[in-house]
Every structure is written in structure tokens, then in C-alpha cells.
């Protein structure tokens, strides 16, 4: 193997490592309610962001609308008592495109949340899958597309069999998505978010 081939292989491993870190850092910022820092993890040319049933938000403007205006309630960094986001990132499968400039990643998430539903704080279990797209700009990996599909959002007390979905989150009085959600089919629909990768052995 010549030096050039070796460098390509090292770069590929570095890219995977950086993207894994990016995804995990995103989640730690989310849990800290640091919405401004999250927006800065997205490319200025970001394609879209879609989180559960909020709808599809396009471009960097859409990213700001999603995290600052909707989830952050207009606050770019918050520290609210009794609100808890713990969105653990598990089982990343990251694939770098052959040209090394874009990448895809699938992750699953296990969440322990507490947030208000109407007037009352509720504790919830959630699970979901990400299919995200990343782009390398000036040597750094950024999000270009983020899609989180929710498997269930269930009250701690009931579990997912009794109450698969605690309520819809698809309404905001002023913030409107650019399009309806592309996929929102919680348990027990049997829906699986399409995979970005082929079967590693059979190629199916």
C-alpha cells in the first residue's frame, strides 16, 4: 500500500470518528437545552430537519425555526427546573460516501424525559431512530439533514403497550413547517424508517 492509499484509509476512519462525536455532542447539547449550539452544528446549506410530527423544516432557516422558535420556545439556551431531556445515542452506523464529502448515519435513541403536557409535567419513555445526513465543509463535519422518527412516547407509569403516544406535537400557534412530516407512524404501526445502507452481506 502506498502512502496515498494509506492516507485515504486513515481519513475514512477519522471521518467516522468525527461524525460519531458530532451526533453524540448534538445529543448532549440537546439535553443541556443549548439550542444555539445545536443550530451551529448544522451546515449553512442544510437540507432539512424533521423531528417526530412537528413537520419538515427546510434549510438553515428551518433549522433555526425548529430549535429556537419551537423546541426552545424562543430561548436559545435554557435551564428550566423539572424539564429533563436525556436523549441517549446508541448503535451508530455511519457510512461515508466514496468522495468523502457527505455521509449517512443511522442511530437509535432511548429517552428519559420530563416535560409539560398542558399544565402538568409528565415523565416519559421514548424510543426512536435517526437517519441523518452529514456534510464535510472546510475539514469539519456538520449536519446537513436530521430526521428523527419516534417509535413511541409513553407515560412512565403506563408503558408503550398501554399508551404508545402521549399526544401530538404538530401544532404551534405561529411556527409553521414547510411541509407535513414525511414519516410519522408510531408503535404499533410496524413501520420502519428506511435504511440508508444495504445489507452488508447480501447487498439487499
- Residues in touch with another protein (CB under 8 A): 3-4, 6-7, 10, 13-14, 17, 21, 24-25, 27-28, 81-82, 84, 86, 88-90, 110, 112, 114, 121-123, 156-157
Strand ranges across the sheet with 48-51 = 56-58, 48-51, 140-155, 120-137, 102-117, 87-96
Q: Name residue, grid cell 468525527.
A: 18
Rounded distance between C-alpha atoms, residue 101 and residue 10, angstroms: 15
Closest distance of CB 65 from another protein, Å: 27
Closest distance of CB 19 from another protein, Å: 12
Residue nearer to another protein on the CB measure, 31 or 69: 31
Angle (CA) 166-170-171 rounded to 5° is 110
Closest distance of CB 34 from another protein, Å: 14
Residue nearer to another protein on the CB measure, 89 or 149: 89
Residue nearer to another protein on the CB measure, 69 or 125: 125
Look at residue 119 and give its three-state secondary structure. Answer: coil
Amino acid at each position: 500500500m502506498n502512502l496515498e492509499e494509506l492516507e485515504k484509509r486513515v481519513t475514512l476512519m477519522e471521518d467516522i470518528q468525527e461524525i460519531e462525536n458530532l451526533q453524540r455532542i448534538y445529543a448532549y447539547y440537546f439535553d443541556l437545552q443549548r439550542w444555539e449550539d445545536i443550530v451551529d452544528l448544522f451546515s449553512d446549506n442544510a437540507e432539512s430537519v424533521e423531528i417526530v410530527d412537528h413537520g419538515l423544516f427546510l434549510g438553515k432557516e428551518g433549522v433555526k425555526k425548529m430549535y429556537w422558535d419551537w423546541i426552545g420556545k424562543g430561548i436559545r439556551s435554557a435551564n428550566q427546573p423539572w424539564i429533563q431531556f436525556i436523549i441517549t445515542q446508541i448503535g451508530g452506523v455511519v457510512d461515508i460516501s466514496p468522495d468523502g464529502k457527505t455521509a449517512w448515519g443511522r442511530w437509535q435513541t432511548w429517552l428519559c424525559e420530563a416535560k409539560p403536557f398542558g399544565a402538568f409535567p409528565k415523565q416519559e419513555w421514548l424510543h426512536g431512530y435517526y437517519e441523518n445526513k452529514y456534510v464535510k465543509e472546510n475539514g469539519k463535519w456538520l449536519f446537513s439533514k436530521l430526521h428523527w422518527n419516534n417509535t413511541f412516547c409513553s407515560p412512565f407509569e403506563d408503558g408503550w403497550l398501554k399508551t404508545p403516544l402521549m399526544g401530538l406535537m404538530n401544532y404551534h400557534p405561529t411556527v409553521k413547517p414547510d411541509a407535513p412530516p414525511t414519516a410519522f407512524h408510531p408503535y404499533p404501526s410496524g413501520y420502519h424508517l428506511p435504511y440508508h445502507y444495504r445489507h452488508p452481506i447480501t447487498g439487499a
